[in-house]
Structures are given as structure tokens and as C-alpha cells.
Amino acid sequence: MRDVAIIGAGITKFGERWESGLRELMAEAGLMALQDANVESKEIEMVYGGTMAPGRFIGQEHVAALLADQLGFRNVPAVRIENACASGGSALRQGYIAVASGIHNIVVVGGVEKMTDVNASEATTALGGAGDQEWELSQGITFPGLYALMARRHMIEYGTTEEQMASVAVKNHENAYRNKYAQFHKMLKLDEVMRSKRVADPLKVLDCSPISDGAAAVILAPLDIAKKYNDTPIHIVGSGQASDSLSLAERDSLTELKATQIAGKRAFEQAKLRPSDINVAEVHDCFTIAEILAMEDLGFYEKGKAAKAIADGETKLNSKLSVNTSGGLKGCGHPVGATGVKQAVELTWQLRGEAKDRQVNGAEVGLAHNVGGSGATSVVHIFKRSN
């Protein structure tokens, strides 16, 4: 296998993008990434596009060909990757495999979702397809309900409090405030989160990530030629993916995501690194409890210890470990197909030293963690600055 690097990164502003359609969002992010990489269109050999439910959200299928056409790659092979909210991370992994294998040299990986063109009920139905349609959605459970079950069980087993979960939202909104591409630019106070309307007890509105539009893209190349395009290529040193049961009821535990544990272990083993080597991490915080679970399942904290550590400030910007510097899904937004690629864009900027007001001092190694559904899919990538 060849070493693989990110040589270009691009992103749109996340949020309610009424002025732009799906194709415009992807073109905006893709062109930014191409310019960043100093790559010409004729050099692109493959396109992978992560998107979850464009058929539900905007009535558009066959998205890969549309995106390739919109980006000016009409004769380039293109494939859509659908893996629920892990579609972006899964697309990145497929692009990584394509370059590492030697089949392709220059690959575009994009992620996009246009979610705000439907009402809340239709969006909930579309997102519900990421769970077990027969045994969960049709029985009335929603994703806030599924994660509320995990949160309640975590509270029972480990003493986790609602205030500790709320501290995740406070931290991530503070980071989003510094990110011009983020959906929200309003800092939160703990009591604001605690007073917000309950959605599925113990989760409240401000424990939940929003409905968002947006796109992100990265350009991949073999590491040995990466500096031909960019002076600061970001080496992908580890990549892991794993699956678990689609239904929450079939899991061994409600307080751990086995797919995250396995994907993380595989990525760390490939990278020959440990959790203590990570300087900055983007983890999947679709709900505040999800960040707590991720920090434990990835090995940053023992089970039951992450909630207190986050509340104590150990994962704030330039603390022990800087987590979700982009604002995460909670503050930056969650256009589901774009999220996994956005994480890679944020870490590329962090490891280059280009994250401006939210820059992690001396960042050398970063980790991205992207989850599909209630944990049935998990993708973990580890990145290192190439000297």
C-alpha cells in the first residue's frame, strides 16, 4: 500500500442555505479544494461523493454523476457513498483505499446534504431511515429517543448528569463562535442548555445537532508526490471502519458503541499511535451524549470518566485535548453526508496551522470520528502533519 495525503480542502458555510441548491454547494466546496490543491481538472481520476438521502430531501438520485458533471469531471468515474451520517467518512475511506492501492493517483472526496427544503416531519422520516425501519422507526422511536436511551443508561451506570452533557454543547458552541463556516455563532451558557425544551428526556433541544445544508471536499494524492501540489500535505496515517447491529435493541450495551471501539483500534494500530498521541479530535456529537460516548470508546477516557472530564474543561480549545474545534455537529451544523468530510477539512487546517482563532497550539496529530445511525457504522481516520 502507498501512503496517502490530503493536498486540498474546501468547505461551504453550514446552515440554512436557501440561496443554494445541492449542486451549487458541492461546486463551492469542490472548487475551493481544487484551488487549494493546485490541481487541474484533467488530473482528477476518481470522485467519491458522500450523501445520505438526497432522494428524500430534494428528490434527486444519481448524485455522483451530477456532482462530477458540476465540478467539470464529465468523463471521470464517480460513485455515491451512502452510509447514513457516516457517508462522508466512508467516502473518505474509499478514496483513501483507491489511492493507497495504486488504482488512482488524484481523487476527489466530497460530502453534501441539502436538508432544509423539507419540513421537520419529512426530515425526521428521512433521518429515521438510518436506524432499523421495521423495529425502531415504525414503532415510533426517533434518533433523539434512541440517544436518550443511551444517555439515561449512562446516567444510571456512571452517574453522568444532565449538566455534564450540557457542558458539551457549551464548549462546542464556543468553538463554533470562532468558525466562520459554522451554522451557529452564538455562545451558550450552561443554564440556557438546561432550560431549553425537552425533546426526549433527558435530552433537550440544545443537546441536539441541527438540520443543516452544506458541503465539504478534500483532494487526495500519494504522499510521495503530494508536495508537488501543496507545501503542507496532511498524511493519513490510520484508517479504520466497523459495523454493529442496526437496531439498538440488539446491542450488548447501551453505553458503548462497539463499532467505534473496533474502528478506533484499527486506525490506532495502523498509525502505530495511542490516544495520548492525539492533539486535536473531531468526534461525532450528533447529541451531547454521543461526544461523551465517543471519548470513552476511542480510548481517551475510561468508561464513565469522560463526562466529568469534559465538564472540567479538559477538552476545551488548547486544553489537555482539543475536541471539536470546528464546533462539532452541535455548533458547526450537521448536513449529514458532509460531516465526515468536514471533519477532515478542519483537521487539515489545524495540522497546517491555518485554523486562525481556533488554532490548537503545536497540533501535529489529529483524529476524525464519524458515526452512522445510532452507532451501526463508525469510521475513524488519523492524520499527521507531513514534515
pLDDT of residue 166: 98
3-state DSSP assignment of residue 95: helix
The yes-or-no verdict on residue 124 having pLDDT over 90 is: no
Q: Alpha-carbon distance 98 to 237, whole Å?
A: 15
- What mean pLDDT do residues 80-85 have? 98
3-state DSSP assignment of residue 179: coil
- What mean pLDDT do residues 216-233 have? 96
Domain 4-119+211-226: give its CATH code. Answer: 3.40.47.10
pLDDT tens profile 96-121: 999 999 999 999 999 999 999 999 88
Q: Which of 85, 208, 286, 332 is catalytic?
A: 85
Reported confidence tier of residue 359, pLDDT bands at 50, 70, 90: very high
DSSP bridge partners of 366: 280, 383
Reported confidence tier of residue 133, pLDDT bands at 50, 70, 90: confident
Beta strands 234-243; 4-11: pairing state: antiparallel
- What mean pLDDT do residues 82-94 have? 98
CA angle 235, 238, 240 (to 5 degrees): 140
Q: Which of 104, 235, 334, 381 is catalytic?
A: 334
pLDDT of residue 74: 86
- Residue 369 annotated among the catalytic residues of the structure: no
pLDDT tens profile 167-213: 999 999 999 999 999 999 999 999 999 999 999 999 999 999 999 99
pLDDT of residue 387: 74
Q: What percent of the chain has pLDDT over 90?
A: 93
Per-state percent for the chain, helix, strand, coil, to nearest 5: 40, 20, 40
C-alpha torsion angle, residues 244, 324, 84, 270 (rounded to 10)? -50
pLDDT tens profile 295-310: 999 999 999 999 999 9
Buried b (16+ CB within 10 A) or exposed e, 122-158: ebeebbbebbbeeebbeeebbbbbbbbbbbbebbeeb
pLDDT of residue 134: 87
81: amino acid identity, one letter: I
Domain positions in the chain: 4-119+211-226, 139-206+235-385
Under 8 Å between Cβ of 365 and 350: no
Handedness of CA 142, 148, 153, 158 (dihedral sign): positive
From the options 3.40.47.10, 3.30.465.10, 3.30.390.30, 3.20.20.70, give the CATH code of 139-206+235-385.
3.40.47.10
Under 8 Å between Cβ of 275 and 300: yes
DSSP bridge partners of 312: none
User: Residue 171's closest CA among 301, 332, 62, 25?
Assistant: 332
CA max distance for the chain = 57
pLDDT of residue 135: 87
Please determine whether the domains at 4-119+211-226 and 139-206+235-385 fall in the same fold group of CATH.
Answer: yes
pLDDT tens profile 329-348: 999 999 999 999 999 999 99
**Helix 336-352 vs helix 87-100: angle between axes, to the nearest 10 degrees?**
60
- Residue 334 annotated among the catalytic residues of the structure: yes
pLDDT tens profile 138-171: 888 999 999 999 999 999 999 999 999 999 999 9
